[in-house]
C-alpha cells in the first residue's frame, strides 16, 4: 500500500518503521526537516518537508495515489484538518490521532462528518489497558481478544511455583485447568514452546485462557486475585484523567497526586468523585501520609519515565499491590523488561498497534482479516485475532494436517460460547474466532499461517 504519515515524532517514527517492515511504500511529511531526513536515511523512504494542511504539499507527497494517510502531529486540529484535506484531494483512507478529552466525546460525529476511517486517542487507549490490568493479580498482565472472551496472561514463574520444572504438555492435567502456554520468555530468549518444553524459575510465561477460569488458575499456582477497591495515581495528565473516570465509574476510590496547582484545580472540576492532592508524588512522606500502604493498586503516570519506574519499584517495596508504570521512550525496553514491574504501558506502542491493525485489515480483502493485534514479550511476538470466513483454506482441516509455517501457534479457537484450547485433531470452522501467536511479523490473513503448498490451494 501507498501510505503517507504526517508527523515524524515518536509515533510517526514507530509507524514508519513497522509499516516499512510489512512491505508498504511509506512517505513521511513534517515541518521539521531534520526529523524527516532522519527517517528517510534510516528506512530508505520518501520524505517531504512541509505542513500537512497544505494542499500543494500533500499533492507533492502523492496523496492522489495514496491508499492511506495517517496524521499523528502534536496538534489534534491539524491532524483533523489534514485528514479532511487528504480525503477531498485524494479520497484515501484517513486516520487521525486526537488526544483532547473534549474531542473524545465527539469521536463518532467526527468520524462520520469528516469521513475518517479511524480516530485514535493514545491516552484513552492506554487508560483502558491499565484499567483492565488493574483487576488482575499483582505481577500479572493480560491482552484481550474476541471481545473479552479470550485473554493472554503474562505470568512470572517465581521460586516454588507449581509451574517450575513442569513440561508444557503436563500443565493442564496437573493443575486441572484448560489453559495453553503460547510463549515463554527466558532471559533474552523468546520461545513458542512445544509440549516437551520445561518451564524454569524466572521464566515469564504467556498463557491463553478464558476470563471465567483465570481466577481458578491463579489460585492453583498460588497467586492471589482480589478485586481492587482503591487506587493511588501519581501524575495528573490525560491518561490519569481517563483512568480515574473509568475507576470512579466502577465504584473504586481514586486518589491523584499532582505537583501542578493549576492541573489540580482542573482535575477537581472534571473529577468530582476523585480525591486530588496537590504535592510531589516522589515525596515518600507524602505517599505514606496519603495511604500508599492502604491502597490496592498504584499507577505512576507522570511525564518522566524514570520517575514512573522508580515510583513503581518503591511502591512494591512498601506493600504487595498491583503497580503500573507509564513509559514514553522505548529505547531501553529490554532493561525495563528485567525489572520487577507488574505492568508497563507504552502509549506510543498502543497507538501504533491500533493503526497497524487497521492498515493490515484494509490492505487485505481475501479470507479473514486481522481483527485484533497485540505485541507481547517486549514486542517480539505478535498475537493476532482472525475471523474465519468462507473459502478460507484452513476450514475443516485438523491442525495436525495443516502445513503451518515455523514459529506459528494456533493458540485458541472461540466457537460461539465455547472456548477451545486446540489440539491436533481440532479444526477451524467458518465463523470461528481464532487467536494466532507468532514471532513472525506482517501476518495479514489467516492463510498467511500456511506454508506454500496449502496456502496456494
DSSP tally for the chain: helices H, then strands E: 16, 22
pLDDT for 105:
79
The C-alpha cell 511509506 sits at 26
pLDDT digits (tens, 9 = 90+) for 199-251: 999 899 999 988 776 777 888 888 876 778 999 999 999 999 999 999 999 99
pLDDT at 190 over 50: yes
Contacts of residue 89, defined as CB under 8 A and 6 or more positions apart, other chains included, come to: 55, 58, 59, 63, 64
Which H or E run contains 208?
strand 204-209
Reduced to 3 states (helix: H, G, I; strand: E, B; else coil), residue 309 is: helix
The whole-angstrom separation of Cα 335 and Cα 168 is: 27
The side-by-side arrangement of strands in the sheet containing 381-387 is 370-376, 381-387, 433-438, 408-415, 418-420
SS3 content of the chain, % helix, strand, coil (to 5): 35, 25, 35
Question: Positive or negative, the Cα torsion across 45, 46, 51, 52?
Answer: negative
pLDDT digits (tens, 9 = 90+) for 138-181: 667 778 887 778 888 888 898 889 999 999 999 888 888 888 89
Which H or E run contains 19?
helix 10-21
pLDDT for 366:
42
pLDDT for 364:
57
pLDDT at 56 over 50: yes
pLDDT for 367:
44
| Size of the chain, expressed as the number of residues it contains | 457
Residue 297 and residue 321 in contact, taking contact as beta carbons nearer than 8 Å = yes
pLDDT digits (tens, 9 = 90+) for 431-440: 999 999 999 8
The whole-angstrom separation of Cα 211 and Cα 133 is: 12
The whole-angstrom separation of Cα 231 and Cα 244 is: 9
pLDDT at 454 over 70: no
pLDDT for 188:
83
Report the share of the chain in percent with pLDDT over 90: 56
Q: Phi and psi dihedrals of 74, rounded to 5? A: -70, -15
User: What structural domains does the chain harbor?
Assistant: 2-120 (3.40.50.720), 126-131+228-345 (3.40.50.720), 135-220 (3.30.70.1450), 355-455 (3.30.70.1450)
pLDDT for 300:
96
pLDDT at 183 over 90: yes
pLDDT digits (tens, 9 = 90+) for 334-383: 566 667 677 888 888 888 888 888 887 776 544 446 778 888 887 789 99
pLDDT at 63 over 70: yes
Average pLDDT, the chain: 88
Residue 408 and residue 386 in contact, taking contact as beta carbons nearer than 8 Å = no
Residue 40 and residue 15 in contact, taking contact as beta carbons nearer than 8 Å = no
Is the pTM above the cut of 0.85? no
Reduced to 3 states (helix: H, G, I; strand: E, B; else coil), residue 238 is: helix
Reduced to 3 states (helix: H, G, I; strand: E, B; else coil), residue 47 is: strand
User: 9: which 3 cell numbers?
Assistant: 515524532
pLDDT for 346:
86
pLDDT for 365:
46
pLDDT digits (tens, 9 = 90+) for 64-115: 999 999 999 999 999 999 999 999 888 899 999 998 888 877 888 889 888 8
pLDDT at 321 over 90: no
Amino acid at each position: 500500500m501507498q501510505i503517507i504519515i504526517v508527523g515524524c515524532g515518536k509515533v510517526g517514527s514507530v509507524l514508519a518503521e513497522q509499516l516499512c517492515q510489512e512491505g508498504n511504500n511509506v512517505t513521511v511529511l513534517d515541518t521539521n526537516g531534520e526529523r524527516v531526513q532522519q527517517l528517510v536515511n534510516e528506512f530508505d523512504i520518501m520524505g517531504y518537508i512541509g505542513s500537512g494542511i497544505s494542499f500543494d504539499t500533500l499533492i507533492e507527497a502523492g496523496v492522489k495515489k495514496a491508499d492511506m494517510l495517517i496524521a499523528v502531529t502534536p496538534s489534534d486540529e491539524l491532524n483533523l484538518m489534514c485528514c479532511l484535506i487528504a480525503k477531498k484531494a485524494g479520497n484515501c483512507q484517513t486516520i487521525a490521532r486526537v488526544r483532547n478529552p473534549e474531542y473524545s466525546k465527539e469521536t463518532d460525529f467526527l468520524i462520520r462528518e469528516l469521513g475518517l476511517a479511524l480516530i485514535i486517542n493514545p491516552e484513552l487507549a492506554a487508560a483502558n489497558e491499565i484499567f483492565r490490568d488493574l483487576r488482575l493479580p499483582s505481577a500479572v498482565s493480560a491482552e484481550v481478544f474476541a471481545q473479552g472472551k479470550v485473554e493472554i496472561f503474562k505470568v512470572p514463574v517465581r521460586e516454588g511455583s507449581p509451574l517450575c520444572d513442569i513440561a508444557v504438555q503436563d500443565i493442564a492435567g496437573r493443575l486441572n485447568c484448560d489453559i495453553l502456554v503460547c510463549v515463554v520468555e527466558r532471559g533474552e530468549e523468546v520461545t513458542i514452546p512445544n509440549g516437551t518444553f520445561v518451564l524454569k524459575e524466572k521464566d515469564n510465561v504467556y498463557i491463553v485462557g478464558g476470563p471465567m477460569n483465570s481466577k481458578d488458575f491463579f489460585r492453583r499456582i498460588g497467586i492471589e486475585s482480589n478485586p481492587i477497591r482503591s487506587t493511588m495515581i501519581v501524575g495528573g495528565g490525560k491518561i490519569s484523567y481517563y483512568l480515574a473516570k473509568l475507576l470512579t465509574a466502577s465504584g473504586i476510590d481514586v486518589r491523584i497526586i499532582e505537583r501542578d496547582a493549576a492541573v489540580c484545580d482542573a482535575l477537581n472540576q472534571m473529577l468530582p468523585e476523585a480525591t486530588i492532592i496537590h504535592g510531589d508524588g516522589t515525596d515518600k512522606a507524602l505517599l505514606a501520609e496519603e495511604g500508599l500502604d492502604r491502597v490496592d493498586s498504584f499507577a505512576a503516570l507522570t511525564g518522566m519515565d524514570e520517575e514512573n519506574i522508580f515510583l513503581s519499584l518503591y511502591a512494591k517495596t512498601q506493600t504487595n499491590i498491583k503497580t503500573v508504570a507509564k513509559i514514553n521512550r522505548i529505547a531501553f525496553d529490554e532493561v525495563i523488561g528485567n525489572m520487577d514491574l507488574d505492568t508497563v504501558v507504552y502509549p506510543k506502542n498502543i497507538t501504533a498497534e491500533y493503526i497497524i491493525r487497521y492498515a493490515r485489515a484494509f490492505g487485505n480483502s481475501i479470507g479473514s482479516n486481522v481483527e485484533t493485534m497485540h505485541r507481547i514479550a517486549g514486542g517480539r511476538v505478535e498475537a493476532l485475532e482472525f475471523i474465519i470466513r468462507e473459502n478460507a483454506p484452513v476450514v475443516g482441516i485438523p491442525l495436525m494436517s495443516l502445513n503451518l509455517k515455523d514459529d506459528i501457534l494456533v493458540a485458541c479457537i472461540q466457537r460461539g460460547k465455547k472456548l477451545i484450547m486446540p489440539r491436533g485433531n481440532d479444526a477451524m470452522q467458518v465463523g470461528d474466532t481464532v487467536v494466532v501467536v507468532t514471532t513472525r511479523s506482517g501476518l495479514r490473513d489467516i492463510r498467511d499461517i500456511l506454508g506454500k503448498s496449502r496456502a496456494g490451494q
